[in-house]
Structure 1
Amino acid sequence: MDSLLYYLIPMMLVVGAVAFMEWFAAWSHEHIMHGWGWGWHQSHHEPHDAALEKNDLYAVVFAAFAIALYFGAAWLWPLWWIAIGITIYGVLYFFMHDGLVHQRWPFKYVPRKGYLKRVYQAHRLHHAVKGRDGCVSFGFVYAESAAKLRKKLQDDRRGLPTSAREDRDQRPSGH
């Protein structure tokens, strides 16, 4: 039994940290990045040719937190496994969001079916709205179906006064 727990507890910490990070990333994307942290995140919603954008500072903050946990593991061993989970989430984010959705790698791949297509479409629908208000789909690994997200966008658009719709339509498009 002890040998089972020896492997089970770290595995649960890693999987739990990855799951928590998807929740936290979606929450912080909606409430921080599209809120008071828009100053950094705005660069991500505007066209640009640069390899880096100010929004990448969020990845640096999350990486610094994971690194701090690795160092903290010298005093509290579970922190090591939590840091590994956060690191795994960072790798997933890099491949799913920066690579797959925004094509920030040297080749182009657009998924045609399945889970990857769902994530791709959901994040593209996130960028369908100009500016920070009225966006849908704030997660990076989990995504609602494109049909549900399109309905949310339509419902949101219908709820706006005409002047607000016209104002939103005049804003420059994101990438």
Structure 2
Amino acid sequence: MVNAILFIAIGFAAMELAGWWIHKYLMHGPLWMIHKTHHQPSKSFFELNDLFSLLFGSVAVVLILLGVEALDYRFWIGIGISVYGLLYFVLHDVWVHRRLKWFGKPRNPFMRGIFKAHQAHHRSNQKDDAVSFGLFLVPRKYFKRDEE
């Protein structure tokens, strides 16, 4: 059980780190033609950028299928990536971008920091002007309380 929790945490953390790197150096680099749809106004529920979710989800499914028989590390890492994907969907797509109107503005300081960091990321619709590329790994300055 401890191994399972450890590998779930590893999968989750690896997804955040890999996601940060992929977002900064690939999505805002050679894959900008796909990712830019996320930085532009859209009239559709889906955008071309959603292909990245399918790719990351596929990695999780493959790991789960490879490890399901033995319930080995591959299975649990795949579960960790899946948990990350679920939280990403809820926090990023539902809550921040309001694809589904389930939640209001954040009140929790941690969630407010994530929200502010993502808003800062989207202040620019240009490939090279973006900041804050992680979902959970965001600069500390976004967690400071606003002067009200």
TM-score between the two structures when normalised by the length of structure 2 = 0.89
Q: Which residue of 1 aligns with 2:104?
A: 109
| Deviations 1:13-59 (CA, angstroms, capped at 9, x unpaired) | 00111111111111100011101111110100001110000000000
- What is the Cα deviation at residue 112 of structure 1? 3.4
Q: Is the 8 A contact 1:126 1:137 kept in 2?
A: yes
- Tell me the distance in 1 between the aligned counterparts of 2:17 and 2:128: 20
- Tell me the distance in 2 between the aligned counterparts of 1:63 and 1:13: 17
More helix, by proportion? 1
- Tell me the distance in 1 between the aligned counterparts of 2:143 and 2:110: 14
Q: Is the 8 A contact 1:14 1:82 kept in 2?
A: yes
Aligned with 2:28: secondary structure? helix
1:146 matched to 2:142? yes
- Cα RMSD over matched residues? 1.7
Q: Which residue of 1 aligns with 2:76?
A: 81
Residue correspondence of structure 1 range 11-50 to structure 2 within 5 A: 11-50=5-44
Q: What amino acid is aligned across from residue 100 of structure 2 in structure 1?
A: W
| Deviations 1:87-135 (CA, angstroms, capped at 9, x unpaired) | 0000011011111211111345111341110000000000112311121
Q: Which residue of 2 aligns with 1:152?
A: none
- Structure-2 change in CA distance of 1:128 and 1:34 (3 Å): same
Any gaps of 5 or more consecutive residues in structure 2? none
Q: Which structure is larger by alpha-carbon Rg, 1 or 2?
A: 1
Q: Which residue of 1 aligns with 2:115?
A: 120
- What is the Cα deviation at residue 76 of structure 1? 7.4
Structure 1 segments of 4 or more deviating over 2 A? Answer: 145-148
- What is the Cα deviation at residue 12 of structure 1? 0.4
1:69 matched to 2:69? no
Aligned with 1:36: secondary structure? coil
Aligned with 1:35: secondary structure? coil
Any gaps of 5 or more consecutive residues in structure 1? 1-6, 149-175
How many residues in Structure 1 have an aligned counterpart in Structure 2?
Answer: 142
Which of 22, 31, 47 pairs up with 1:53?
47
- Tell me the distance in 2 between the aligned counterparts of 1:100 and 1:142: 17
